[in-house]
């Protein structure tokens, strides 16, 4: 079972903004090759940091309002939220170690 949560416009506030732990939000699309490569890496991050952070995915084709709200121009685009505020961001592929190091700054 996946540790990665699908987030929609309806659930974004509850799952991301009101979360009591850091949230990694992956803005992605089904047709995006690099997104498909990043997905298993984020699964590993979710497993390694289980209970410490939440890993969430937003499909930009299905949730255009969220993509527009955060001015997502390129994907994969990963935003890191802590206490309801965006604290970090990266675009493109990253290694698991890089992502874990980036997130651990928020723990």
CB atoms within 10 A of CB 37: 12
Question: What digits encode the pLDDT tens for the residues 21-62?
Answer: 999 999 999 999 999 999 999 999 999 999 999 999 999 999
Decide if 35 is catalytic: yes
Instruction: Please tell me the total count of domains within the chain.
Output: 1
- 23, 35, 42, 56: which is the annotated catalytic residue? 35
Question: What digits encode the pLDDT tens for the residues 90-106?
Answer: 999 999 999 999 999 99
Element (H, E) at 12: helix 12-12
Q: What is the pTM of this model?
A: 0.94
Which CA distances in Å does 99 have to 6, 30, 45?
Answer: 19, 21, 8
- 5, 21, 32, 88: which is the annotated catalytic residue? 32
* CATH classification of the domain holding 12: 3.40.30.10
Containing domain of residue 72, as a range?
A: 4-105
DSSP 23-74: EEEEEE-TT-HHHHHHHHHHHHHHHHTBTTBEEEEEETTT-HHHHHHTT--S
């Amino acid at each position: 079972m996946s540790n990665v949560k699908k987030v929609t416009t309806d659930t974004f506030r509850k799952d991301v903004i009101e979360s009591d732990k850091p949230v990694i939000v992956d803005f992605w699309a089904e047709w995006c090759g690099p997104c498909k490569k990043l997905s298993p890496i984020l699964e590993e991050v979710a497993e390694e940091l289980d209970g410490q952070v939440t890993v969430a995915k937003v499909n930009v084709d299905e949730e255009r309002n969220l993509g527009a709200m955060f001015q997502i121009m390129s994907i994969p685009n990963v935003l890191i939220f802590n206490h309801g505020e965006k604290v970090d961001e990266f675009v493109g592929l990253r290694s698991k170690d890089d992502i874990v190091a980036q997130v651990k700054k928020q723990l």
